[in-house]
Structure 1
Amino acid sequence: MEKKTFVTKEQLKEIIKEYPTPFHLYDEKGIRENAKALKEAFSWNKGFREYFAVKATPNPFILKILQEYGFGCDCSSETELMLADALGFQGPDIMFSSNATPAREYKLAYDLGAVINLDDITHIDFLEKTTGIPKTICCRYNPGGTFTISTDIMDNPGEAKYGFTTEQLFEGFRILKEKGVENFGIHAFLASNTVTNEYYPALAKVLFETAVKLKQETGANITFINLSGGIGIPYRPDQEPNDIRVIGEKVREVYEQTLVPAGMGDVALYTELGRYMLGPYGCLVTTAIHEKHTHKEYIGCDACAVNLMRPAMYGAYHHITVMGKENMPCDHKYDVTGSLCENNDKFAVDRMLPKIDMGDLLVIHDTGAHGYSMGYNYNGKLRSAEILLKEDGSTQLIRRAETPEDYFATFDCFDILSNMKYR
């Protein structure tokens, strides 16, 4: 099964007349349709709200689109909080989930009225000394061990640096209640990028049962449960995508089996999806500029790992389409590389693709989340532009490409550019 692009070769040929490759391209139509589907899937829960994980795609134009659907922001740093504030997200529109958090970031979150999601029991005292304890607060739960569905180990929460242990969670709720907290939330992230409709219901069962016990043993007023992220996308063409409506219905069944009988049928559900919301609706467009025939066959692109870090960092698979050759046989084996001075700067290793000619446009799929946002400047490389493919087929530049002036701007005591002889 072949993954299809949301843009045609003809459209790309027009786009590159104005914006040279490489660049990240986003599909407005797909983003909007997915936002609607998520809202519909959880419409049975009156308090449902998606807090988009800003770290996945921190672009104001994207955030404004999601804001139209009533979504909030899940922020994890000072600058993400500043971005949310600048875009008009206010108070409970913002969830602040961070770890090893500096005092100034807690203070900014508190001043903005954001819902603070505490990562550790020791942060209770830290927060109290920094800002005071707010009336509404959330705590991140890590039950430890391994998280399994059927016989497949999905992830290892016990190895994760995040969250309260079970004992700490109950003790933390008691302490916070004594300190005047009136409304509580709990949050957990137990597995990443799951391509199964069973993950969210299994996670919900853990959280719902924990919430019931917390209410019974601490008397805490639990007003929301944050199911966080973890719903994945099919990076590989042979994977079946998740069905968000099936997921929503399965979570509803667990909610009615667990929370409703405990008198907690008014608890709001939150999500903080990043990859699921944006991943498939972005791609990295790059041009083949070199071919190398040595011990292997290499195709060198004008993009590199600074534009998409996941393959180099995780060995992650991202599908590649050679535009205009979608129906040609994949009878050539290539390593598709960038130009960094690192051997792991490869978008694909031993990938079977159609014959690639110099100048061919390559679309690297599923970069809409954790693509541009993980970029960096190693080797002095400059981050690429971000472009929105609008519903009417037109394009909008939503972040310009970096320039050498941007790269040198932080050398405020040494004017690099004026000293360059070639200038």
Structure 2
Amino acid sequence: MKVPFVTKDQLEAIAAQYPTPFHLYDERGIRENARRLRAAFAWNPGYREYFAVKATPTPAILKLLKEEGCGCDCSSLAELIMAERCGITGEDIMFSSNETPPEEFQLADKLGAIMNLDDFTLIEDLERATGKIPEKVCCRYNPGGVFALGETREGFQVMDNPGDAKYGMTRAQISEAYRVLAAKGAREFGLHSFLASNTLSNEYYPVLARMLFQLAVELKEETGCRVTFINLSGGVGVPYHPDQPENDIAVIGEGVRKAYEEILVPAGLGDVALYTELGRFMLAPYGHLVTRAMHEKHIYKEYIGVDACACDLMRPAMYGSYHHITVMGKEHAPCDHKYDVVGSLCENNDKFAVDRMLPKIDRGDLLVIHDTGAHGRAMGYNYNGKLRSAELLLREDGSVDLIRRAETLEDYFATLVW
């Protein structure tokens, strides 16, 4: 059972000041999770979490995570600027982009970010844009094929298709990239790879780590280049369904440690720093989309219309993703009504739930849509002229801060030329 991190009374008080819909984040949950992650990898002295800014590009969140020792994984000009304005610069930024324009390389270089090159041809693009190759550089690896863990002890199958992904270099390309970069002045090298999204398995990171650790040993032998860091990227997921298993980050960290000691240490690479780039794991469970039931419709199905729409959370519309819904004040009522919970867009996929069994919903009820702290408001848009909602931070002392105001019609019309 998923339990909201706020009560109905708290939400009604918040909604009296900040009208629904809005995204609400839990400071206490975010901080405690960041500390669990850091503890899981404390055995590696160089460990650093580079929070994936694309998941939740909100300054208050980035500053909060900075206080917990996290850097930023940026992939665009705007994300670089946001990181800088939050006081995050230098090697606290990992710049992992693809199809990169010159101005993004130039700003990343100016900020002193670690460059993570997605493609062999970007070596030339980076050199042309900045006039040099940095001494510390990373390359993104794509092993191709299909990645699968099979049935894990959690009973969950992990499968993804790296060979169909646009990211990363082939095995031959990454070896050649190291040689070329070394010839152009690079002295410290990193490896990065991302094989599967939102995995619910304690085995994913250790399996990925073994692959990258072995590759690091091979590249050291082939090229003589000094591998100083390995970035395990993201992919550690969260259970969107109440009955799904939850990752144990301590177990995951221990699995990676074992692989590290078995592969890297004997090869003379026992000083390699480990990095992660977790967005969903860091934030998703600690965000709610709060919306109010506005309308009932009784035709071939039963519909509940809410004041949020896919512009506030597009994952269900885009991917068919499940997000759990709590009807506030009715947490213990029987789920004996079948509803489609829908927004007001002129699109039939604007649905937060389809044929969902829920308690009876009345107009005015507050609904919490769970696990929206990552890839929630970040993926919002303005179709049908909808305005993107506010973001609020529930502080540890129970107070609430407005951390991004809701858009206005003036914002929407500001870029138009009449």
* Shorter-normalised TM range: over 0.9
2:120 aligns with 121
Structure 2 residue corresponding to 1:399, chosen from 399, 404, 414: 404
| TM-score normalised according to structure 2 size | 0.98
1:417 aligns with none
Equivalents in 2 of 1:318, 1:280: separation in Å? Answer: 11
2:173 aligns with 168
Equivalents in 2 of 1:374, 1:129: separation in Å? Answer: 32
Letter in 2 for 1:378: Y
Q: CA RMSD in A?
A: 0.7
1:88 aligns with 87
Q: CA deviation at 1:125?
A: 1.0
Q: SS in structure 2 opposite 1:150?
A: strand
Q: CA deviation at 1:111?
A: 1.1
Equivalents in 2 of 1:165, 1:172: separation in Å? Answer: 10
2:327 aligns with 322
Q: CA deviation at 1:379?
A: 0.3
| TM-score normalised according to structure 1 size | 0.97
Structure 2 residue corresponding to 1:183, chosen from 184, 188, 201: 188
Letter in 2 for 1:361: L
2:68 aligns with 69
Equivalents in 2 of 1:21, 1:293: separation in Å? Answer: 24
Equivalents in 2 of 1:101, 1:175: separation in Å? Answer: 19
Q: SS in structure 1 opposite 2:354?
A: strand
State the Cα deviation string for residues 393-413 of structure 1 (Å, max 9, x = none). Answer: 1100000000001101112x4
1:21 aligns with 20
Task: Work out whether residues 146 and 153 of structure 1, in 8 Å CA contact, stay in contact via their aligned partners in 2.
Answer: no
Structure 1 residue corresponding to 2:394, chosen from 380, 389, 394: 389
Equivalents in 2 of 1:371, 1:150: separation in Å? Answer: 29
Matches within 5 A, 1:127-276: 127-131=126-130, 132-150=132-150, 152-276=157-281
Equivalents in 2 of 1:39, 1:127: separation in Å? Answer: 32
Letter in 1 for 2:414: A
Q: SS in structure 1 opposite 2:244?
A: coil
Letter in 1 for 2:160: D
Matches within 5 A, 1:266-305: 266-305=271-310
Q: SS in structure 1 opposite 2:19?
A: coil
Aligned pair count reads 412
Equivalents in 2 of 1:145, 1:335: separation in Å? Answer: 38
State the Cα deviation string for residues 222-259 of structure 1 (Å, max 9, x = none). Answer: 11000000000000000121010010011000000000
Moved over 3 A (4+): 150-153
Task: Work out whether residues 196 and 235 of structure 2, in 8 Å CA contact, stay in contact via their aligned partners in 1.
Answer: yes
Letter in 2 for 1:320: I
Equivalents in 2 of 1:322, 1:74: separation in Å? Answer: 35
Q: Does 1:46 align with 2:59?
A: no
State the Cα deviation string for residues 259-294 of structure 1 (Å, max 9, x = none). Answer: 000000000000000000000000100000000001
Q: CA deviation at 1:130?
A: 1.2
Q: 5+ unaligned residues in a row in structure 1: which ranges?
A: 415-423
Provide the identity percentage.
Answer: 70
Task: Work out whether residues 291 and 308 of structure 2, in 8 Å CA contact, stay in contact via their aligned partners in 1.
Answer: yes
1:35 aligns with 34
Equivalents in 1 of 2:86, 2:391: separation in Å? Answer: 18
Q: CA deviation at 1:211?
A: 0.5
Q: CA deviation at 1:331?
A: 0.6
Task: Work out whether residues 150 and 159 of structure 2, in 8 Å CA contact, stay in contact via their aligned partners in 1.
Answer: no
State the Cα deviation string for residues 55-93 of structure 1 (Å, max 9, x = none). Answer: 000111111111012210000000000011111112101
Q: SS in structure 2 opposite 1:260?
A: helix
Q: CA deviation at 1:153?
A: 4.9
Q: CA deviation at 1:150?
A: 3.3
Equivalents in 2 of 1:247, 1:156: separation in Å? Answer: 22
Equivalents in 2 of 1:98, 1:312: separation in Å? Answer: 26
Q: SS in structure 2 opposite 1:126?
A: helix
